[in-house]
Every structure is written in structure tokens, then in C-alpha cells.
Amino acid sequence: MKASKSFVSALVSAGVMSAIPSTPAHAGAAYIYEMGNPTDTPYASAGLAARAGDAGTVFTNPAGMTRFESSEMLGAATPLYIYANYDPDENTTVSGSDGQTSELLAAGSLAYVHPVSDRLTLGISAQNFFGLTLDWSDNWVGRYTSVSATVIAPQVQPTVAYKVTDWLSIGAGAGLTVGYLSDKLRADNPLPGQPDGKIRYSDTDFAVQGNFGLMIEPSENTRIGVRYLTETDLNFKDGLNISGVGSLPDLDPDSDLANPANGVDLGMKMPQSVMAGIYHRIDDKLAVLGSVGWDEWSRFGRVQVVVDGTDLNVTEDEGFRDTWHFGVAAEYQYSPRWKLTGGVSYDTSMASDATRPLVLPLGAMYRYGLGFQYQKSEDLTLGGGLTFLWEGNLPTKPTGGVSGKYENVSITFLSFYARWH
């Protein structure tokens, strides 16, 4: 049975997939800036660790909370459209349709900042900036690897920040994380004329991710921010739910996965991440921002696999690379009520054409963002933004008789938000 022999690799690929969850997550790979703080969408996420212009700084840099003199709440919605269709080439030997994965999704987030004193500030946020949800047709050529895969990790994060001096603030948060992994694929049925069987795997896990921030303000017009996310373990365990293929031992008696009672343990990591940014106001109307960042996605590509009741205990390595982020942006105070923003950023690819899994339509990411803010009243600011993320054509490594590439991969993010001061 094709599926049972390659299911560990399929689950690793699914667990390694990163992108857009249906309830928030895309960035240097699976960290999606737009979901961590949707007000960064109009900046193409450039300078996010230094901007600290709204309550979203609870997540992007908790040290930035000390800049608020009064309480603020931020609520946001982020609809997005993914275009990532797979085109098999002449080397594909599996029958089936092309991979149609384009879909419209939506996400949201909340953040709240509350100054306790001139130096101490508390905050809380809810977001899902990590993960992926992708669906292909049940008959696509890669169905023996996956037809539907989801990896998400929504968080609620309480934070605290302290103003050490007039120019230095520190902050820390604990991301209370619920990880969820689900994968569905088809099993090649050896019985003539019978449809493919089905295999399902899903589980949840709880983890805590540390979020630490530093804000340096050498002058009234300039600030430098650094945000560090800790590496966090997610461990999933489930038996293989198999249907439509009869008795597994009869089909594949040598497989470690033949016994449905044997649970499959998958251990993966949300990688550590460092983001540094600078914000500088040139005059009363114009400010510029910049950022550089690093994510350790090579660790994410190494997944620990254990099958209960067997000797199988291995680390599957997808050969991923660490990624780098670079971005620049600007904001322009067009009038007392209107502010215009724009930015561009670039993230390197965590996978090469030779190592990119069949179910991972991710490469180097080019972001282009535009947006606005409108101060409706003294207590309420409304805003919105658009980011177009371009990845282009992404070849995948040949897998199970399937060879080809994703064509013209792109993601379009919209954000709509309200700030209550």
C-alpha cells in the first residue's frame, strides 16, 4: 500500500508545512507577520519590532507597551486569498488531476494595553501567527501524500513591560499555545476497480512560547526595537485512522504502521526567531522604518518520529534552511486625520527546489504593502491595508511518482482594524 509505506514522510511534510491557517498564519516561512499584528500589513511588516504604534506591539515587541500613556484596545480582521496551483510535469506517473489549492480564508486578532504606572505596563493579545491550512482535490496526483493538511498554533499571550530608564524599556510575554495538526491522504487500493482508501491523523498539544522585547529610544524621533521568540516544542500523537482498504496486515505486513493500535508520535518545533527594527521620524509628516530578522527553520525541518510498539524512533530531516528577513517602509501624515503607509520586504526561502516537499508551496517571499489610518475621533482610529506577497514558480522534489511545480504562487492579505484609545 503506497500510503502506509510513505505515511511518516507525508506527516513530516504536513507538519513542516507553513502558511495560512483558516483561523489565523506566512513569513520567513510559517511565521505570518500579518496574523501576529494586522496593522503591520500596510508596512509589508517592515520595522515591526520598532513601530509600537498601537496595541499590537503586545505581540510584535512587548517592550513597546511602555510608550502608551493610557489604555488601548486593537481589534482586527484579515481576509486573505491564496493562489498556489500545482502543475505536474511529464515525469509524473500517478494518474489524477492537477493540484488546485487556491482559496479564500479569514482570520482575526485582539490586543489590549493597560499602563499601571509611569513605568509598568500590562498587556494581553490573542493571535495565530504560525501554521498552514491547504486543501487539494481528492483525486489530485499527490493524493497519496496529502489531500488536506492543517498545522496551526493559536495563542493567548499575557505580557508585562517595564521602563528601566527614559530611553530603555524591556518586556516579556508567555504565549499560551494550543498546537493542532491534522492530515488526510488517500491509500492506493490493491483491489481492482475499488476506490482509494483513506488515512487520517490528528492531535492537539499545549505549549508555552516565550516572547521577549527590548526598546531603545536614543531620541524623541528615533527608536530601535528587538524581539526574540523562543523555540517551542509541539508533540502530537495519534493512531492511524484507516478506512476503505481492508485489513492492513494483508496489504503491508512489514510496515511499522500496519497495526492501527500503534500510535505515531511526531515531535516538531516552532523555531526561535529574532527581529530587529528601527523607526525614525524625519519631520512632522514623514517617518521611515527598517528591519532585519532571522528564523531557525532548519530546526523545524527535523521532526522526531516514534511509532509505539516498534523500534522506529528516528528524526526525519527535510533539509530546510534558516531564513532571513529584510524590509523598509515609510509613513506619511497627509493631514491631521489621515496617515498613509507603504513598505516592501523580502524573506529568503527555507527550502530549495531540490528539497521542497510536494505539499509545501513556500519559497522566497516578496511583500509589497500599502495602507491608511483615519482618526475618526479622539478615542477611535480606523485603518486598513493591503499586502501582496509574491513567490512565483516553486518546483518540488519528486515524490511517489509525482514531479512538477507550483505556478505563480501568491498571497493577498487585506486588513481592517479599529483602535480604541
Per DSSP, 42 falls in state G
Q: Residue 250: give the domain boundaries.
A: 2-420
Q: What pLDDT, on a 0 to 100 scale, did the predictor assign at position 246?
A: 58
Whether the per-residue pLDDT at 323 is higher than 60: the answer is yes
Mean pLDDT within 311-332: 88
Residues 144-168 have pLDDT tens digits of 888 888 888 899 999 999 999 999 9
Question: Which residue, 355, 353, 358, is CA-closest to 391?
Answer: 353
Q: What are 218-238's pLDDT values in tens digits? A: 999 999 999 999 999 989 888
Task: Give me the pLDDT at residue 13, please.
Answer: 44
How far apart (Å, rounded) are the C-alpha atoms in residues 188 and 182? 20
Give 99-144 pLDDT, tens digit per residue: 878 888 888 899 999 999 999 999 999 998 887 778 888 889 998 8
C-alpha span between 382 and 54 (Å, rounded)? 12
Q: How far apart are CA 329 and CA 24, in angstroms?
A: 24
Asked whether the predicted pLDDT for residue 9 surpasses 90, the reply is no
pLDDT band for position 259 (cuts 50, 70, 90): low
Structural domain count of the chain: 1
Specify the range with the lowest mean pLDDT, choosing from 43-52, 182-191, 384-393, 409-418. 182-191
Residue 16 identity (one-letter amino acid):
V
| pTM above threshold 0.75 | yes
Which residues are CB-contacts of 11 (< 8 A; sequence separation ≥ 6)?
183, 201, 264, 266, 305
At 369-382, the pLDDT tens digits run: 999 999 999 999 99
Reported as a single tens digit per residue, the pLDDT across 50-90 is 999 999 999 999 999 999 999 999 999 999 898 989 999 99
pLDDT at 7 over 70: no
- What pLDDT sits at residue 30? 63
Cβ neighbours for 18, distance < 8 A, ≥ 6 positions apart: 25, 26, 29, 30, 31, 130, 131, 132, 151, 300, 350, 360, 362
Neighbours of 66 (CB within 10 A): 25
Identify the residue whose cell numbers are 493610557: 70
* Banded model confidence at residue 248, pLDDT cuts 50, 70, 90: very low
Q: How many contiguous H segments (helices) and E segments (strands) does the chain have?
A: 6, 23
Shortest CA distance to 227 belongs to which of 17, 418, 40? 40
Mean pLDDT in residue range 247-276:
67
Mean pLDDT for 278-301 is 94
Tally Cβ neighbours within 10 Å of residue 234: 24
For 29-61, letters b (16+ CB in 10 Å) and e give bbbbbbbbbbbbbbbbbbbbbbbbbbbbbbbbb
Q: What percent of the chain has pLDDT over 90?
A: 56
Whether the pLDDT of residue 5 is over 50: the answer is: no
CATH number for position 68: 2.40.160.60
Question: What is the Cα–Cα distance from 328 to 288, expressed in whole angstroms?
Answer: 8
Give the tens place of pLDDT for each residue, 276-285.
Answer: 999 999 999 9
CA atoms of 189 and 174, how far apart (whole Å): 47
Q: What is the pLDDT of residue 151?
A: 84
Banded model confidence at residue 172, pLDDT cuts 50, 70, 90: very high
**Between residues 14 and 34, which one has the greater pLDDT?**
34
Residue 288 has pLDDT above 60, yes or no: yes
Condensed to tens digits (0 to 9), the pLDDT of residues 23-46 reads 223 333 468 888 888 899 999 999
More confident residue, 288 or 399: 288
